[in-house]
Each structure stands twice: as C-alpha cells, then as structure tokens.
Amino acid sequence: MTTFEIIKKTHFAVVTIFFLIYLIKTALLLANKNEELQSFTKKVKILEMLVSFLFLATGVYLMFQLPEIKPLLIIKITIVFLSIPLAVVGFKKANKGLATLAFVLILGAFGIGEMMKNKKAVVTENAVNADGSINAQELYSANCKSCHGDNGKLNMAGAFDLSTTQLGNDSIASIILNGRNTMPKVNGLTQEQAQAIAAYVNTNIKGK
C-alpha cells in the first residue's frame, strides 16, 4: 500500500467513526435521553478529539495530493466546516434543530464524498477523428493525464506509473471502466473507447 492509500483509508475510517458518533448523539438528543447523551459524550470525548484531529489532518493531506480541486470538493469542505460550529452549539444548548441540521450537513458531505468516487468521462469533440475512428490520445489527455501525466509517470494521487505497466489491453480497459483501489472508475466511456485508450497506453506510453 502506498502512503496515499493508507491515508485515504484512514480518512474514510475516521470519517465513518465521526459520522457514527454524531448519529448516536443526535438520536439521543432527539429522543430526550439527556442523561444518556451526557454519559455517551463523556465516554467518547477522547475518541472524538482523536478522530477530529485525524479527520482534519488526513483531509488536508489528501487535498494537497489531488490533481485538481473540483467545485464539488469545495462544497464538501464548506459543508464540513459549517457543520462543526452548528454541532458544537447545537449539543451545548441541546438545540434539536441545530443538532439535526449539523447532522444533515455531515450526512450531505459524506454523500458528496461517495459521489466523487466516480469520475465522469470527458469526451470532447476531438475524441472522434475525421474518419470516424476514436482519437485515443485525446481521450487519454482528457481523462487520464491529470493523474498519470502525458508520459504516464506523473503519479498524482498515488497513480501507477503507466510506462511500466505489465497489463494487456483488456485488463487496462477493465481498470478504466471499473476503477481499481484508489483509481476512480471513469464513467461514460464505451467499451471501444476504453479499448482504444488501453491500446494507446500500451503502444505510446509503456516502455517510453
């Protein structure tokens, strides 16, 4: 596992714990179980501090590893930072409305994170040559370059060096269409387009 992958898995794990803590707290508050809420809050205090710290530290690390900061990511980060003071005030004042709003925001940020796991394919006008054949170089530039670079060696976001790949066209096409570990699947490419990109990788990038 690369450092990037370890950090990414840690981020996902702490975010899940963070989310569960807030789910339980919000449920207790809404059910008027104030004593239980207080004792639960006390019990998870250290865990919550640790999780919050790891949550921010891994999040900042991941942000700096990304090939580009997308608007969706900015929305996600804004939502997270909005929800924190709302949750603090909401639970301190036992304000159900604020606490619920904070929880819904955290849920929304979590949902955006899940949505961002898939990458929508960019198919430009130039993706089809004048003779109707697929312009694989153009598809590669539009969909792969941000992480792998023109020569396959960029290694952004923990991306594999494609100039050293040992995979055949079918395996590469399958990785493009289904993703693998931290590589998102590229949604919306046809089987033919994925095959064309795979062939492009094997003839123009591999071994260069």
Provide the minimum distance between the beta carbon of 124 and ligand HEC in the complex, in angstroms, as a whole number: 13
- Residues interacting with ligand HEC, by CB under 6 A? 119, 143-144, 146-148, 157-160, 162, 165-167, 172, 175-176, 180-184, 186, 197, 201
Pick the closer one to ligand HEC by CB: 107 or 206.
Answer: 206
Residue type, 62: L
Residues 6 or more apart from 208 whose CB is under 8 A from it?
151, 152, 163
Pick the closer one to ligand HEC by CB: 135 or 143.
Answer: 143
Place of tokens 């640790």: 50
Pick the closer one to ligand HEC by CB: 5 or 53.
Answer: 5
Provide the minimum distance between the beta carbon of 135 and ligand HEC in the complex, in angstroms, as a whole number: 13
Provide the minimum distance between the beta carbon of 165 and ligand HEC in the complex, in angstroms, as a whole number: 3
Pick the closer one to ligand HEC by CB: 10 or 95.
Answer: 10
Pick the closer one to ligand HEC by CB: 86 or 173.
Answer: 173
Provide the minimum distance between the beta carbon of 200 and ligand HEC in the complex, in angstroms, as a whole number: 8
Separation CA 87–CA 113 (nearest Å): 20
Q: Phi-psi category of 152—alpha, beta or left, where left has phi over 0 and alpha has psi -120 to 50?
A: left
Q: Do 192 and 125 contact (CB within 8 A), yes or no?
A: no
Separation CA 97–CA 104 (nearest Å): 10
Q: Do 142 and 128 contact (CB within 8 A), yes or no?
A: no
Provide the minimum distance between the beta carbon of 81 and ligand HEC in the complex, in angstroms, as a whole number: 24
